[in-house]
Amino acid sequence: MARKVLVAILVLLVFLSVSAVPAKAETLENGGVIMQAFYWDVPGGGIWWDTIAQKIPDWASAGISAIWIPPASKGMSGGYSMGYDPYDYFDLGEYYQKGTVETRFGSKQELVNMINTAHSYGMKVIADIVINHRAGGDLEWNPFVNDYTWTDFSKVASGKYTANYLDFHPNEVKCCDEGTFGSYPDIAHEKSWDQYWLWASQESYAAYLRSIGIDAWRFDYVKGYGAWVVKDWLSWWGGWAVGEYWDTNVDALLNWAYNSNAKVFDFPLYYKMDEAFDNNNIPALVDALRYGQTVVSRDPFKAVTFVANHDTDIIWNKYPAYAFILTYEGQPVIFYRDYEEWLNKDRLRNLIWIHDHLAGGSTDIVYYDSDELIFVRNGYGDKPGLITYINLGSSKVGRWVYVPKFAGSCIHEYTGNLGGWVDKYVSSSGWVYLEAPAHDPANGQYGYSVWSYCGVG
């Protein structure tokens, strides 16, 4: 019994040494961890901005650098809208229209209060920008389609960015652009009127969001319009930005990223992680990384990585996936429900700490098979680097691995997943025997270990 108590104390000590240390300032611009602060169909009734505000102190203490919030403008569905059907861009929950004053998420003042709370904790706020289409307009005769269309936006309560059929495709300029979303009217970004009200003026939607404290941008459905739109938006307003280019064609994603000056979500990596971690096919992931089939392997500074989001949640074996994105290259996003509801919050906080304090530099994969993956981050700046060992098997495993970066050094296991305080000494020739626990989250075995120099933090 005494031995069990001692082990429990050691586990507690290692956990406190890693996850209870105040987070250092890892900024959004320097690759800090992002929290997606919503999911599809969050509770209605105007409580969500207040809900986020209440979560911010915990997220800040965990090391989150920024929160990504849902589209804030009044949508066609009023109080039921998740914001992806924008009607009045300048109604953030202050005008009665579409059956409500507040949006699904709350009032404008509650939004501003939430943003101010985030800033008071040193966190940036990322707005979800939906400018491919509009929704909820009135019927009008449209000579370009010889029929009636829902393109009359003359009655928006804000009085700003009124629009008609000339502001959508097809029009007198061209039939179409890069893509449409469902049957929603497709905004004609080539029109100076639409540019003026969306981003290219001090009266624009972008200016309005800046005025309430928005710091950064997540652009929705960027396959639907030219990359030049985001590039021009950023030339006006600057700030960190990422685009949702939902595709597995890495060349297409990087082409968009380079032409827009924004980052891009790494959908190819997302699907490869599903193949690797849900189907015990780690070689498929390794091949994708080695042969440039993911954004992070081609240009990690353009890659925003994720395990789930409000649109797609196919990876069920999430612990190794989060261990991967929080210790590998790229900028990781944590999904609200994973952190708040579905996974062990302490495990995620621990991985965030590891990301912010240890995970720097280039990557070398030193071992893999169908169930195991071991890679080294080589360190950069004040991040010394690490060794991640992922095990998908039902039994504890160990390997002799060659890690010359750590030759002759003491290395410590920073997750506590091996059941206590574990240090190893790497031989002067660079060889060390490392272990990873079984993968059995139901019984508190999370299937990964992370190692770095002793005494960090």
DSSP string, 1-23: -HHHHHHHHHHHHHHHHHHSSPP
pLDDT band at 4; cut points 50, 70, 90: very low
Distance CA 345, CA 353 (A): 12
* Cβ neighbour number for residue 96 with a 10 Å cutoff: 12
Structure tokens at 76: 């066609």
Provide the CATH number for the domain around residue 162: 3.20.20.80
pLDDT score recorded for residue 22 = 41
pLDDT score recorded for residue 453 = 98
What is the chain's percent helix, strand, coil content, to nearest 5? Answer: 35, 25, 45
Q: Is 54 exposed, middle or buried (0-12, 13-18, 19+ CB in 10 A)?
A: exposed
Structural domain includes residue 368:
no
pLDDT average, residue stretch 204-223: 98
pLDDT average, residue stretch 417-430: 96
Is the overall model pTM greater than 0.75, yes or no?
yes
- What is the DSSP secondary structure assignment for residue 103, as one 8-state letter? B
Domain that residue 71 falls in: 25-360
Q: Looking at the predicted structure, is the pLDDT value of residue 430 above 50? A: yes
Q: Are the CB atoms for 64 and 126 separated by under 8 Å? A: no
Structural domain includes residue 198:
yes
Q: Which residues contact 165 (CB under 8 A, 6 or more apart)?
A: 140, 142, 143, 144, 149, 151, 152, 171
pLDDT score recorded for residue 11 = 35
pLDDT score recorded for residue 257 = 98
Distance CA 163, CA 430 (A): 66
pLDDT score recorded for residue 26 = 87
Q: Kindly give the pairing relationship between strand 372-377 and strand 363-368.
A: antiparallel
The model's pLDDT over 379-411, given as tens digits with 9 standing for 90+, comes to 999 999 999 999 999 999 999 999 999 999 999
pLDDT score recorded for residue 130 = 98
Structural domain includes residue 379:
no
Percentage of the chain lying above the pLDDT 70 cut: 95
Structural domain includes residue 418:
no
Of residues 26 and 366, more confidently modeled: 366
pLDDT average, residue stretch 36-41: 98
Peptide bond into 384 cis (omega under 30): no
What residue ranges in 93-215 does DSSP mark as E strands?
124-129, 138-142, 147-152, 168-169, 186-187
The model's pLDDT over 164-198, given as tens digits with 9 standing for 90+, comes to 999 999 999 999 999 999 999 999 999 999 999 99
Structural domain includes residue 277:
yes
In the chain, the number of structural domains is 1
Structural domain includes residue 129:
yes
pLDDT score recorded for residue 162 = 98
Structure tokens at 325: 């994105």
Q: Is 58 exposed, middle or buried (0-12, 13-18, 19+ CB in 10 A)?
A: middle
Q: Looking at the predicted structure, is the pLDDT value of residue 21 above 90? A: no
Percentage of the chain lying above the pLDDT 90 cut: 94
The model's pLDDT over 132-162, given as tens digits with 9 standing for 90+, comes to 999 999 999 999 999 999 999 999 999 999 9
Q: Looking at the predicted structure, is the pLDDT value of residue 10 above 70? A: no
The model's pLDDT over 270-315, given as tens digits with 9 standing for 90+, comes to 999 999 999 999 999 999 999 999 999 999 999 999 999 999 999 9
Structural domain includes residue 434:
no
pLDDT average, residue stretch 260-279: 98
Structural domain includes residue 401:
no
pLDDT average, residue stretch 406-419: 97
Distance CA 36, CA 148 (A): 39
